[in-house]
């Protein structure tokens, strides 16, 4: 309720024989009261909203899901192997810093440069989250000069950096916990255990996949793509700590199902093919992420809709997905990911 509405109600309780216009005694007395009551009404609404998992936010949602034994998954740091060059026998030590143009990484293992003046060491990003998943060659300097060390680079992309779990993601896990029978080592229990690990975007469980007592858990990462070996190992370890005695558990990544798009476009004035390609890539990637582990096929028509929803694209023709004009089937163990977008 707004302060104007509150003020109107307060003044309506005063007899009309008194002056209630702007600047009058009664108006000036009731106006600050209405302002304070507006604040109180807002606080009461927030208290009510934050008392339910469906509408709670931030720390209030954290407190609500804790009632079911859930905690928000924390952000994680990316790691990468870097190649350090310099004078043979020079040392690279834990705590040394390497950097890209924007991010700093800390070396987490010791090494000595070989006779060729080269050493490979693992470094962890000082900034948590997926921002640290930088591409090949991005690490190119030492923030502080290190004796005997001349250059540094990464010959592989950094990986393993995941953002903190969002309110919506945490809320989804909460409702899964209260609505699915995740007890006594059921398949829902294995899914819940897998999704407790930071970086896991979704999971499936296949009971008895290789005979009695066997369980297979298939995971994808938070970007709804194939999971890396480090994440797979972390999930396996977490499940091993919680699983019932006697179960033989295998954890695997979903297999990427690459979808390549070819299309002819009618573009609005000022829109280049490169702009259109980037917009299509973003639109289709978002669509595929929503379909990951939730659909048995990718709709040809819906991909066309993703293209038409892009700003600056008026129409399209000659659309193909992996060279065909049919829906693409997605197996139980696959996750669809965008390959290339070709504009013809």
Q: Is the pLDDT of residue 181 over 80?
A: no
Q: Are residues 208 and 268 in the same domain?
A: no
CATH assignment at residue 225: 3.30.300.30
Q: Is the pLDDT of residue 182 over 80?
A: no
In tens, the pLDDT along 15-57 reads 898 898 999 998 889 999 999 988 888 888 888 899 999 999 9
* pLDDT band, very low/low/confident/very high, at 122 (cuts 50, 70, 90): very high
Q: Are residues 232 and 263 in the same domain?
A: no
Q: Is the pLDDT of residue 197 over 90?
A: yes
The reported pLDDT for the residue numbered 88 is 97
In tens, the pLDDT along 300-311 reads 999 999 999 999
Q: Are residues 240 and 278 in the same domain?
A: no
- Asked, for residue 170, whether it belongs to a domain, the answer is no
The better pLDDT of the pair 122, 212 is held by 122
Six token digits for residue 241 = 């700590």
Of 236, 253, 270, which residue constitutes the final position of a domain? 253
Q: Are residues 239 and 265 in the same domain?
A: no
Instruction: Give the β-pairing of 334-343 and 255-267.
Output: parallel
Which stretches within the chain are classed as H helix?
3-12, 25-49, 58-66, 167-179, 187-195, 229-242, 273-291, 300-308
Q: Are residues 265 and 315 in the same domain?
A: yes
The reported pLDDT for the residue numbered 186 is 85
Sign of CA dihedral 233, 239, 243, 249: negative
Q: Are residues 85 and 136 in the same domain?
A: yes
Range scoring the smallest mean pLDDT among 15-19, 100-104, 183-187, 215-219: 183-187
- Which of 329, 336, 326, 332 lies closest to 286 in space, CA to CA? 336
* pLDDT band, very low/low/confident/very high, at 173 (cuts 50, 70, 90): very high
Residues 123-127 have a mean pLDDT of 98
* pLDDT band, very low/low/confident/very high, at 207 (cuts 50, 70, 90): very high
The better pLDDT of the pair 187, 251 is held by 251
- Asked, for residue 118, whether it belongs to a domain, the answer is yes
Burial code (b: 16+ CB inside 10 Å, e: under 16) for 170-207 equals bbebbeebeeeebeebebbbbbbbbbbbbbbbbbbbbe
The reported pLDDT for the residue numbered 139 is 98
Domain with 203, as residue range(s), is 180-253
- Asked, for residue 70, whether it belongs to a domain, the answer is no
Contact between 227 and 262 (Cβ < 8 Å): no
Contact between 334 and 256 (Cβ < 8 Å): yes
Residues 49-68 have a mean pLDDT of 94
Mapped onto helix, strand or coil, the DSSP state of residue 2 is: coil
Residues 260-278 have a mean pLDDT of 96
Cβ burial, residue 74 (10 Å; 0-12/13-18/19+): exposed
In tens, the pLDDT along 71-100 reads 999 999 999 999 999 999 999 999 999 999
- Asked, for residue 63, whether it belongs to a domain, the answer is no
Contact between 226 and 293 (Cβ < 8 Å): no
Q: Is the pLDDT of residue 118 over 80?
A: yes
Taking only Cα atoms into account, the Rg of the chain, rounded to an integer number of angstroms, comes to 28
Six token digits for residue 244 = 């019932």
Q: Are residues 333 and 294 in the same domain?
A: yes
Average pLDDT score over the chain: 94
Q: Is the pLDDT of residue 184 over 80?
A: no
Six token digits for residue 94 = 């834990």
The better pLDDT of the pair 5, 286 is held by 286
- Asked, for residue 73, whether it belongs to a domain, the answer is no
Ramachandran quadrant class, 106 (left: phi over 0; alpha: psi -120 to 50; beta: rest): beta
Mapped onto helix, strand or coil, the DSSP state of residue 162 is: strand
Of 253, 279, 300, which residue constitutes the final position of a domain? 253
The reported pLDDT for the residue numbered 247 is 85
- Asked, for residue 309, whether it belongs to a domain, the answer is yes
- Asked, for residue 201, whether it belongs to a domain, the answer is yes
Residues 283-306 have a mean pLDDT of 96
Q: Are residues 246 and 305 in the same domain?
A: no
pTM value? 0.78
Domain total of the chain: 4
- Asked, for residue 8, whether it belongs to a domain, the answer is yes
The reported pLDDT for the residue numbered 193 is 94
Whole-angstrom distance, CA of residue 72 vs CA of residue 66: 9
């Amino acid at each position: 309720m707004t302060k104007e509405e509150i003020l109107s109600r307060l003044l309506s309780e005063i007899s009309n024989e008194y002056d209630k216009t702007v600047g009058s005694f009664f108006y000036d007395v009731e106006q600050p009261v209405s302002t304070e009551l507006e604040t109180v009404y807002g606080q009461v609404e927030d208290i009510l909203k934050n008392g339910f998992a469906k509408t709670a936010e931030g720390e209030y949602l954290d407190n609500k899901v804790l009632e079911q034994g859930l905690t928000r998954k924390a952000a994680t740091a990316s790691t990468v192997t870097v190649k350090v060059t310099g004078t043979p026998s020079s040392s690279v030590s834990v705590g040394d810093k390497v950097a890209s143009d924007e991010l700093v990484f800390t070396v987490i293992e010791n090494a000595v440069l070989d006779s060729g003046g080269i050493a490979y060491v693992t470094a962890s990003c000082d900034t948590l989250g997926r921002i640290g998943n930088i591409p090949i060659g991005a690490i190119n300097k030492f923030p502080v000069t290190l004796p005997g060390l001349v250059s540094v680079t990464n010959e592989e992309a950094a990986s393993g950096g995941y953002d903190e779990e969002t309110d919506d993601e945490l809320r989804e896990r909460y409702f899964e916990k209260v609505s699915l029978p995740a007890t006594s080592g059921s398949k829902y229990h294995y899914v819940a255990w897998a999704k407790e690990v930071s970086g896991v975007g979704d999971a499936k469980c296949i009971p008895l996949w290789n005979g009695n007592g066997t369980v297979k858990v298939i995971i994808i990462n938070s970007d709804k793509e194939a999971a890396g070996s480090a994440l797979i190992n972390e999930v396996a370890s977490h499940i091993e700590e919680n699983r019932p005695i006697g179960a033989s558990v295998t954890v695997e990544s979903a297999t990427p199902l690459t979808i390549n798009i070819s299309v002819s476009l009618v573009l609005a004035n000022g829109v280049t093919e490169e702009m259109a390609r980037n917009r299509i890539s973003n639109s289709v990637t978002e669509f595929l992420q929503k379909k990951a582990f939730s659909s048995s096929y990718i709709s040809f028509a819906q991909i066309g809709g993703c293209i038409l929803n892009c700003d600056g694209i008026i129409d399209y023709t000659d659309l193909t997905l992996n060279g065909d004009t049919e829906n693409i089937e997605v197996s139980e163990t696959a996750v669809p990911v965008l390959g290339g977008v070709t504009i013809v």
